[in-house]
Amino acid sequence: MAEKYHVAVLGGGPGGYVAAVRAAQLGLKTVIIEKDNLGGICLNWGCIPTKSLLKNAEIYDLMKYHSSEFGIKVQGLEFDFSKIIKRSRDISDQIVKNIEFLIKKNKIDRIKGFGKLASASKIDIINPEGKSIDSVTAENIIIATGARPKNIPSIPVDHKMIITSTEAMNLPEQPKELIVVGAGAIGVEFAYFYSVLGTKVTLIEMLDSILPVEDKEVSLTLEKSFKKRGIDILTNAAVQKAEIKSNKVNVCALVNGSLKELTADKVLCAVGVTGNVEGFGLEKLGIELYKNHIKVDKSNYSTNVKGVFAIGDVIGPPWLAHVASAEGIHCVEKIKGLTPPDINYNNVPGCTYCQPQVASIGFTEQKAKEAGYELKIGKFPFMASGKAFAIGEREGFVKLIFDAKYGELLGAHIIGSEATEMIAELAMAKSLEATAESIIKTIHAHPTLSESVMEAVGVAYNEAIHI
Amino acid sequence: MDVVMPKMGESVMEGTIIKWYKKVGDRVKKDEPLFEISTDKVDTEIPSPGEGYLAEVMVGEQETVEVGTVVARLEPDKPASARSAGTKPAETESAGIETSSLPASMHDNFAFPSPAFEKKEEIGFLSPLVLNIAKTEKVSFEELRTIKGTGLQNRITQKDLLLHIDRKKQQNIKPQHVSTSSPSYYCPKGSGVSSNDVEVIPMDNVRQKIMQHMIHSRDTSVHVTALIEVNMLKIHTFIQNHKNDFLEKEGIKLTYMPFIADAAIKALKEYPLVNSTIDGTTIYKKKYINLGIAVAMEPNGLIVPNIKKAGEKNLIGLAKAINDLAANARTKKLTPDDIAQGTFTITNYGVFGSIFGTPIINQPEVAILGVGAVIKKPVAVEIDGNDLITVRPIMALTLAHDHRIIDGMLGGKFLKFVKDVLESFEPDSL
């Protein structure tokens, strides 16, 4: 390919393909290089297929445990595990096709192959034998190679018995017992999914609560709910060793200072992710790394090599698809010469899609206190919401944290059935720098769960009506 | 061809356009001065990167943008219609409605408009939080207007406002909106002074920077000044004897400055703590000497470029370096890197006849050497055991030093060392 592109994107995940589409919209001649399907982990092995699985679990949960509450009689309730898995794979395939179409529609060249950086303006396309079969030259290269599940020596993943999230969403049959190591979003979602389907789940977390980055009150509420479901939770627990012994996995963990032995059919290692920084020429260009991730200037996502940019999971936390997309758009707009404001990493919503769902943005109460703010906190339980009663989802609450001095919304934390949809309002409020007053004076439709947001502000300022 | 805000040095992140030399539609030759910028370090003319017609100006005068931002566009052919940034209100008004080219797609509706689309007179959207903070911190609308917004569509964000309030507290300066509309402050009623008797001058960028630097230094360092008198007889005689052949051989006028610089460098090597910086409670003692020389600018102004690695230069090298810096400073050819990373400064107020002064330290350095005029004075000297009064060329040196790190003893020793080097000058040492 002789022609020179304005932008070459290496990697077709939610960072890469979004960057490519935005570049094309801005009139930049763009090529995207991806060895697999477009959509990256998110569409193929992450966000989308897991949300499909979780919907199955929610329906089954409702039918099995709550049908009588709604006056519905269910007899012979059963599920077909392989069909549950197949549904999620089909959905993933369909969405991926849509992305391929998006790329075509925007007249972006798509190269299916493994791209390797040859220079700051050239990417070689390598065949499986390691031979260069093609090359692309571009004024700007955006690296969006993403991340993969992290391995730790004490838990040797064999992808059959000791598995990562990739296998966990595509198992041939349902495990009877499952140990989940790591209670971040991924671990918690799989713990919920398998436990609803009847697997005996043990959730192990090294820190002192599950979802340790969330507000303590939220974590404890979820912990209580999970325990009620029958999920065993071990916090302050460090896995020393995981060993496969005749069709079982033995796990030895140090829990609050004493050793504990556990056994299960499968162990899911969900201890985080690590950047894909190997094997595509970063060292050759001398691109600077930091803790297995590419180091960038977050005002335009440039690396230390001129003309080479990096976005998304490969540049490190928070490892979220929506952040990767936002970074991709920002990076391309800067390349075009526009002046978008820098991304505010304190205004990034984070969601966990178990039931009850967990969603948050900004400071937790603990972090806000550490940062030295004087706080005004409003917590409104769904127990006090009419809509929550009507739909039988009374678990959870909305907790809003304000700075007492200027009324800034420092953080928002929701746990409840539609938490992940409700957080959008608060993300908008934060990005527009709304104050407590602006939220409480916004009329919220009745009856909705979202009213609880308005009421939570009311609680903080002693103006709540329904509590 | 896009014209971008050039990067003027490692430490320079943004620049202000002071003046456009060309109007939209004008023909521009390559390397012809296109605009003048002011960075937080220096003012410079920027030559055109290519040839063509100035098709669009995106950044108007007095606007500050980041390095790398596209400020204008050149086109090979004379453009039919051209836009320029915020100069004529009529043009900006209509620009919002009649965009010449339709957005390529719906998504472009969310793209960030070039400054041409904004009305400069209006303050724009202020978030509830910004308003709350402004109210709590008593920041007026007038003052808000002076803040540069970094948010979406250049909105003033919470961060911008808090930064402004912080800076204001640090600099302890009055808000800059005291403007032409309120001369009463300077012309109190009943004082007999009318507003016609007072000329109101807005400060230019350089003056504002000098003001900020001076206030910052005063508020940072604990200034103490020590004074010593130096008998310059030997150097005076040497200069008188050699100035002509020096001018012939080296092409520059021989002055006292290289001798003083040389003595200061020797003293800095002896007392390296004077060549340090403080950050919090940490001291950074530098192993290199970048010697700053304060240069006065006509008609007014001041700049302190420094001689990099001055510790490695001999007297002739220093003489040349000082000469070059001063020449570059006066012809505006300094780069921001010439100003950055200084470790110690010499200021020569003696050239204006002052015999001594108490200079302000050039932050983040910790001392500055003030050089007074060399004046023939009657002095008492001891010759063969007899006290005699005789005439000697005497120069007063002052060392303003930061008492946070340099106590009187070190300041005194340093000055004495400089004096000894100067007084024991041997022409053979050249």
Residue A244 has pLDDT above 50, yes or no: yes
**Does B170 reach chain A within 8 Å, measured CB to CB?**
no
Entry pTM: 0.61
Which of A25, A405, A437 has the CB atom closest to B107's CB atom? A25
Q: What are the pLDDT digits (tens) for B291-308?
A: 999 988 877 788 899 999
How many residues can be counted in chain A? 467
Q: Under a CB-based contact definition with an 8 Å cutoff, are residues A268 and A163 in contact?
A: yes
Does residue B111 sit at the A interface (CB-CB below 8 Å)? Answer: yes
State whether ipTM is beyond 0.95.
Answer: no
Question: Which residues of chain A make contact with B104, given a CB cutoff of 8 A?
Answer: 25-27
Reported confidence tier of residue B17, pLDDT bands at 50, 70, 90:
confident
Cβ pairs bridging A and B (under 8 Å): 57
Mean pLDDT across the stretch A211-223? 97
Contact assignment for B111 to A333 by CB distance below 8 Å: yes
Q: What is d(CA A275, CA A292) in angstroms, rounded to the nearest whole number?
A: 6
Question: DSSP string spanning A348-394?
Answer: --EEE-SSSEEEEEE--HHHHHHTT--EEEEEEEGGG-HHHHHTT--
Say whether the peptide bond before residue A149 is cis (omega within 30 degrees of 0).
no
Helix (H, G, I), strand (E, B) or coil at A320: coil
Cis, peptide link before residue B336, omega less than 30° from 0: no
All domains of chain A, ordered by start, with CATH?
4-149+274-336 (3.50.50.60), 162-271 (3.50.50.60), 356-460 (3.30.390.30)
Whether A339 has its CB under 8 Å from any CB of chain B: the answer is yes
What is the arithmetic mean of pLDDT over A265-292? 95
Of A25, A406, A438, the CB nearest to B108: A25
The β-bridge partners of B231 are B394
Question: Does pLDDT of B188 surpass 60?
Answer: no
Please give the share of chain B, as a percent, with pLDDT higher than 90.
39
In this complex, the residue of A25, A342, A406 whose CB is nearest that of residue B105 is A25
The most distant pair of C-alpha atoms in chain B lies apart, rounded to whole Å, by 97
Pairwise CA distance, residues A17 & A110, whole Å: 10
How far is the C-alpha of B319 from the C-alpha of B323, rounded, in Å?
6
- Indicate yes or no: CB of A337 within 8 angstroms of CB of B2: yes
Q: Which residue of A has its CA nearest to B113?
A: A338
Q: Which of residues 341-370 of A touch B (CB under 8 A)?
A: 341-342
- Per-residue pLDDT of B346-386, as tens digits, reads 999 999 999 989 999 999 999 999 999 999 999 998 888 88
B110 or B154: which leads in pLDDT: B154
Most confident by average pLDDT, A178-182, B76-80, B238-242: A178-182
Strand pairing of A200-204 and A177-181?
Answer: parallel
Rounded Cα distance between B54 and B20, Å, is: 11
Compute the mean pLDDT over every residue in chain A, rounded to the nearest whole number: 95
Percent of chain B exceeding pLDDT 70 equals 82
Which amino acid, residue A47? C
Question: Residue B248 above 70 pLDDT?
Answer: yes
**pLDDT, position B80:** 59
Tell me how far apart the alpha carbons of residues B147 and B123 are, in angstroms, rounded to a whole number: 10
Chain B CB contacts of A438 under 8 Å are: 128
Which chain B residue lies closest to A27 (C-alpha atoms)?
B104
Domains of chain B, with CATH numbers?
Answer: 2-117 (2.40.50.100), 123-184 (no CATH), 222-429 (3.30.559.10)
Judge whether A367 and A446 are in contact, CB under 8 Å.
Answer: no
Identify which of A275, A278, A308, A295 has the alpha carbon closest to the alpha carbon of residue A119.
A308
Q: Which of A365-369, A453-457, B13-17, B366-370 has the lowest mean pLDDT?
A: B13-17
Is A372 in the B-facing interface, judged by CB distances under 8 Å? no
Neighbours of B144 (CB within 10 A): 20
Q: How confident is the model at residue B12 (pLDDT cuts 50, 70, 90)?
A: low
Greater confidence, A289 or B61? A289
Q: Cα dihedral sign for A321, A325, A328, A331?
A: negative
pLDDT digits (tens, 9 = 90+) for B303-351: 899 999 999 999 889 999 999 988 888 887 888 788 888 999 999 999 9
Is the pLDDT at B263 greater than 80? The verdict is yes
The answer to whether the CB atoms of A407 and B132 lie below 8 A apart is: yes
Q: With a cut of 80, say whether residue B178 has pLDDT above it.
A: no
* pLDDT score, position B124: 80
**Predicted confidence (pLDDT) per residue in A259-278, tens digit:** 999 999 999 999 999 999 99
> Contact A19/A2 with Cβ under 8 angstroms?
no
Find the CB nearest B128 among A333, A405, A433: A433
Residue A110, judged by CB atoms within 10 A of its CB (0-12, 13-18, 19+), counts as middle
In the structure, what pLDDT confidence band is assigned to residue B70 with cuts at 50, 70 and 90? confident
Q: Return the structure tokens found at A400.
A: 């809003």
**Rounded to 5 degrees, what are φ and ψ at A132?**
-80, 120
- Compute the nearest-CA separation of A335 from chain B (Å): 10
The amino acid occupying position B330 is: R
Q: Tens of pLDDT along A205-215?
A: 999 999 999 99
Q: Which among A340, A432, A437 has the least Cβ separation from residue B112?
A: A340
- Look at residue A246 in the predicted model and tell me its pLDDT: 86
Q: For residue B190, what pLDDT band results from cuts at 50, 70 and 90?
A: low
Q: Which residue of B has its CA nearest to A28?
A: B104
**In sequence order, what are the beta bridge partners of A242?**
A251
Write down the catalytic residue from B40, B407, B420, B428. Answer: B407
Q: Which candidate, B264, B258, B255, B359, places its Cα nearest to that of B304?
A: B359
Smallest Cα–Cα separation from A205: which of A218, A191, A215? Answer: A191
**Looking at A74-78, A177-181, A209-213, B199-203, which range is the least confident one?**
B199-203
Residue B388 dihedral angles phi and psi, to the nearest 5°: -130, 155
Q: What pLDDT does residue A208 have? A: 94
- Is residue B407 flagged as an active site residue? yes
How many whole angstroms separate alpha carbon B406 and alpha carbon B384?
38
Q: How far is A406 from chain B (nearest CA, A)?
A: 6
